[in-house]
Amino acid sequence: MAELTQTEVYSPRSLQVWRTLLNWLALFFQIFLQILRALGHHALLSSSSSSSPSFKPLPVSELPDNDSPEASTVEIATASGDFDSGEQSEKLTVVLDLDETLVCAYETSSLPAVVRNQATEAGLKWFELECISSDKESEGKPKVNYVTVFERPGLQEFLKDLGEFADLVLFTAGLEGYARPLVDKIDKENRFGSRLYRPSTISTEHREHVKDLSCLSKNPSRIVIVDNNPFSFLLQPLNGIPCIPFTAGQPHDTQLLDVLLPLLKHLSQQKDVRPLLHERFHMPEWFQKQGIPTSAWML
């Protein structure tokens, strides 16, 4: 009888403990889902810079081999190598993408406070922005969107040092109503000689919002583009640097100062950037594996 009494007293308490535990687990699971939605796809799949000290060619998709002779040879009709001592060189033009390359941005209303707090506690610089949307309010007034922007670590030092040996161009597929006030914030020193927005991109049969470098320079040997989306430079694959996407989940990223800046400095000393970039990234071969023929390029 004593054992029965103890069981009757113990069971309700045990049940209450389990219910409390399950409620806490459900709460943590909801918070975890919000974090995943805010960080997006790249925060989980892209490797951090601490484990990637240098760039490597982009991973090749498992597509059928192309037996065309084009796939094995890419001809670059120009001289390569370093500049001779005293030889005058044209300044290198560096075209920089914006989102996930220099910054990452999230709609403020959908960004969980825990994500912002963790990023700022880790030292990420951030600011909030009012952006004019292309959409209209019910009264016909332009809609205002509120965005939270995180700067990639080392951004200001990167732009300052890069501007000492290169001409900087900002080229984004973002709309001007969003991108212009953002760039005003990160480029108070007006280091970008030009700013290009979505209307300056073009559409091809393979991708939309492609960035054609021929509108910026007639000399393809002295221009390079840095973009987390390789398809942005599919017209000039030998001039592109595919960088690791940046998200708020990478507060200790060091790509700008430890990887990109030394590479761009080295490229500035080359007569033609294309042989070195081809050797480093093999982008023409990568594009062919994605089913984009050489006839789509402007080498």
227 is catalytic: no
Candidates 57, 64, 15; CA nearest to 286 is 57
Q: In the sheet that 92-96 helps form, which strands lie side by side, from edge to edge?
A: 192-196, 166-171, 92-96, 223-227, 240-242
Candidates 295, 268, 293, 267; CA nearest to 280 is 267
Structural tokens at position 233: 């430079």
Phi, psi of 30 (to 5 degrees): -65, -40
Alpha carbon dihedral 52, 53, 55, 60, in 10-degree steps, equals -30
212 is catalytic: no
Q: Which residue has the tokens 């037996």?
A: 67
Residue type, 14: S
Catalytic residue among 67, 84, 99, 258: 99
The H-assigned helical ranges of the chain are 2-39, 42-45, 113-121, 155-162, 176-186, 261-268, 273-281, 283-289
- For 12-43, b/e burial (b = at least 16 CB within 10 A) is eeeeeeeeeeeeeeeeeeeeeebbeebbbebb
Candidates 205, 104, 111, 210; CA nearest to 155 is 104
Structural tokens at position 133: 């949307």
Phi, psi of 132 (to 5 degrees): -85, 120
Structural tokens at position 20: 């409390």
> Helix-strand-coil percent breakdown of the chain, rounded to 5?
45, 20, 40
Catalytic residue among 97, 167, 227, 253: 97
Q: Which residues are tagged catalytic? A: 97, 99
